[in-house]
C-alpha cells in the first residue's frame, strides 16, 4: 500500500524543534506535572509499577471519559495513543477499498491522506468564509453525499479555522447521514476551548451511527501524555480494539493515571478555564498586530481552538513565505498550502504571550520587507 505524504505533519516534524520560535503549535501551552498534580498525586505516579495496562484503556479512565458522552458505558470507549491513532483505527475499521467518504475541508489532513491510501474515494465539502465566519457550504455537502457515502467526516471545532458548526448545520449533517445510511465521524479534539466559554455539543448521541475522536492534546493542553480516545457503538469499538492489537497495543500506564486526574470534573474545568483565558488574551494580541497592517491581513476570528487562520495579500505563496521566514528569521508558521488554501497562514495562539509576541514581531518585519517602505 502506498502512503501519500502527510505534508502538514511532515513539515512540523522536520522543523518545529529546529527553530527559535515555533508558531505552528495547534494546542495550548502544556502544564508540567508539578503544576498539574499535588504532592500526594505525584507520589502516586512515582509509586506506580510500570507494567502493561489494559489494552483498551484502564476501566477508571474509560469511566472518566464516558462522563462526557451521556448514555455510554465502558464498552463504548477505546483509549488510544493520541487522537491520531483513534482516527487511524476508526478509518481502518469503517472503510474498505472502493468506498466513498464526504470530508470537510479545510481539516487536519490525516484522514484525507489515510483514506486515499486505503483506496477510498474522498469527496470534499467546504467551510467557506463570508468575512465574518467560516460556514458550512450546505449545497455542496448535499451534492457530494449519496447512497454510496460510507461516512461524513467533520472536524468540529475546526482545524485550522477555529469555526464551530451551528445547531442547524449539525442537524443537516445528521439528516443527510441518516438518509444515506452513512456514518458520521467527528474529530472533536478542540471541544471545550470555545472562546465564549460555551462548550458546544458533541455529535455523539445524535444518531445511531456516530463515532467521535478526542483526547488530551488540544483543548486539555497535554499532548505529551499521548492519550486519546474513540467513542462509538459497542460493535465498532470492539472492532477497533481488535485492530489496536496490531498497532500500539496499549498506552502508557503513567499517562493513563495522569489522564484520570486531568478528567476529574473540577480539574478539567480548571484547565479549560485557564486555556480559554490564554487564548482570549493571545487573540487580542494577534488582532492588535493585524490592525497595524489592515490592507494586507485579514482574519475571521476563531470561535474555538488553539490557532488562527490568517489570510494575507503579500506577493508570495504561503510555502515560500514559511520557508523564507524559517530560514531568515528562525520562525516557523504553517503555510495554508498544506490545506490547499494558498495565501493563508496558520498561527498557533495557545503559546505563552511573550513567545507569540516575539514571533509576530519577526513575522511582521519579514512581511513588511516584502513590500518595502
Give domain status of residue 46, yes or no: no
* Confidence label for 4 from pLDDT (cuts 50, 70 and 90): confident
Question: Where is the domain boundary, 266, 287, 316?
Answer: 266
Q: Which domain holds residue 300?
A: 7-32+273-367
pTM above 0.85, yes or no: yes
Same-domain check for residues 169 and 212: yes
**To the nearest whole percent, how much of the chain has pLDDT over 90?**
97
Same-domain check for residues 180 and 196: yes
pLDDT at position 28 is 96
CATH of residue 197's domain is 3.40.640.10
Give domain status of residue 45, yes or no: no
- What is the rounded average pLDDT of the residues 98-118? 97
Give domain status of residue 41, yes or no: no
User: Into how many domains does the chain fold?
Assistant: 2
- What is the rounded average pLDDT of the residues 131-160? 97
- 282-326 pLDDT, tens digit per residue, is 999 999 999 999 999 999 999 999 999 999 999 999 999 999 999
Query: In angstroms, rounded to a whole number, what is the distance separating the alpha carbons of residues 37 and 43?
Result: 10
Same-domain check for residues 190 and 92: yes
Question: Where is the domain boundary, 266, 290, 321?
Answer: 266
Give domain status of residue 44, yes or no: no
pLDDT at position 142 is 97
CATH of residue 342's domain is 3.90.1150.10
Same-domain check for residues 238 and 92: yes
Same-domain check for residues 62 and 191: yes
Same-domain check for residues 208 and 326: no
Same-domain check for residues 254 and 317: no
Same-domain check for residues 259 and 294: no
| Contacting residues for 282 by C-beta, under 8 A, at least 6 apart | 349, 350, 351, 353, 356
Same-domain check for residues 226 and 254: yes
Per the CB < 8 A criterion, the answer to whether 51 and 253 are in contact is: yes
**Number of CB atoms found within 10 A of residue 70's CB:** 9
- Judged on CB neighbours under 10 Å (0-12, 13-18, 19+), 373 is exposed
Same-domain check for residues 173 and 242: yes
- 325-351 pLDDT, tens digit per residue, is 999 999 999 999 999 999 999 999 999
Same-domain check for residues 295 and 354: yes
Give domain status of residue 37, yes or no: no
Same-domain check for residues 215 and 237: yes
**Cα distance between the two ends of the chain:** 52
Question: Where is the domain boundary, 214, 238, 266?
Answer: 266
- 48-69 pLDDT, tens digit per residue, is 999 999 999 999 999 999 999 9
Amino acid at each position: 500500500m502506498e502512503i501519500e505524504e502527510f505534508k502538514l505533519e511532515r513539515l512540523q516534524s522536520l522543523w518545529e524543534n529546529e527553530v527559535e520560535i515555533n508558531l505552528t503549535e495547534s494546542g495550548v501551552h502544556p502544564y508540567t506535572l508539578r503544576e498539574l498534580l499535588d504532592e500526594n498525586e505525584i507520589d502516586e505516579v512515582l509509586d506506580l509499577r510500570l507494567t502493561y495496562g489494559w489494552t483498551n484503556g484502564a476501566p477508571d479512565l474509560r469511566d472518566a471519559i464516558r462522563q462526557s458522552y451521556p448514555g455510554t458505558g465502558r464498552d463504548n470507549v477505546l483509549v488510544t495513543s493520541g487522537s491520531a491513532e483513534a482516527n487511524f483505527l476508526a478509518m481502518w475499521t469503517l472503510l474498505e477499498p472502493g468506498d466513498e467518504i464526504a470530508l470537510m475541508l479545510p481539516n487536519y489532513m490525516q484522514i484525507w491522506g489515510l483514506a486515499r491510501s486505503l483506496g477510498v474515494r474522498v469527496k470534499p465539502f467546504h467551510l467557506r468564509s463570508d468575512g465574518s465566519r467560516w460556514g458550512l457550504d450546505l449545497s455542496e455537502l448535499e451534492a457530494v453525499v449519496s447512497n454510496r457515502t460510507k461516512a461524513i467526516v467533520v472536524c468540529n471545532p475546526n482545524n485550522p479555522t477555529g469555526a464551530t458548526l451551528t445547531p442547524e448545520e449539525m442537524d443537516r449533517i445528521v439528516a443527510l447521514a441518516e438518509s444515506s445510511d452513512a456514518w458520521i465521524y467527528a474529530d472533536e479534539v478542540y471541544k471545550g476551548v470555545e472562546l465564549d466559554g460555551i462548550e458546544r455539543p458533541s455529535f455523539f448521541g445524535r444518531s445511531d451511527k456516530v463515532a467521535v475522536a478526542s483526547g488530551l492534546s488540544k483543548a486539555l493542553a497535554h499532548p505529551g501524555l499521548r492519550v486519546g480516545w474513540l467513542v462509538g457503538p459497542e460493535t465498532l469499538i470492539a472492532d477497533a480494539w481488535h485492530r489496536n492489537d496490531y498497532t500500539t497495543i496499549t498506552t502508557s500506564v503513567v499517562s493513563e493515571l495522569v489522564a484520570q486526574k486531568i478528567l476529574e470534573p473540577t480539574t478539567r474545568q480548571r484547565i479549560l478555564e485557564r486555556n480559554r483565558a490564554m487564548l482570549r488574551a493571545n487573540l487580542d494580541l494577534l488582532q492588535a498586530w493585524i490592525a497595524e497592517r489592515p490592507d494586507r491581513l485579514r482574519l475571521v476570528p476563531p470561535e474555538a481552538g488553539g490557532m488562527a487562520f490568517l489570510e494575507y495579500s503579500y506577493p508570495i505563496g504561503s510555502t515560500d513565505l514559511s520557508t523564507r521566514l524559517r530560514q531568515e528569521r528562525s520562525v516557523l508558521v504553517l503555510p495554508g498550502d498544506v490545506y490547499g488554501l494558498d495565501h493563508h497562514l496558520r498561527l498557533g495562539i495557545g503559546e505563552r504571550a511573550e513567545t507569540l509576541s516575539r514571533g509576530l514581531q519577526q513575522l511582521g518585519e519579514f512581511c513588511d520587507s516584502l513590500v518595502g517602505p
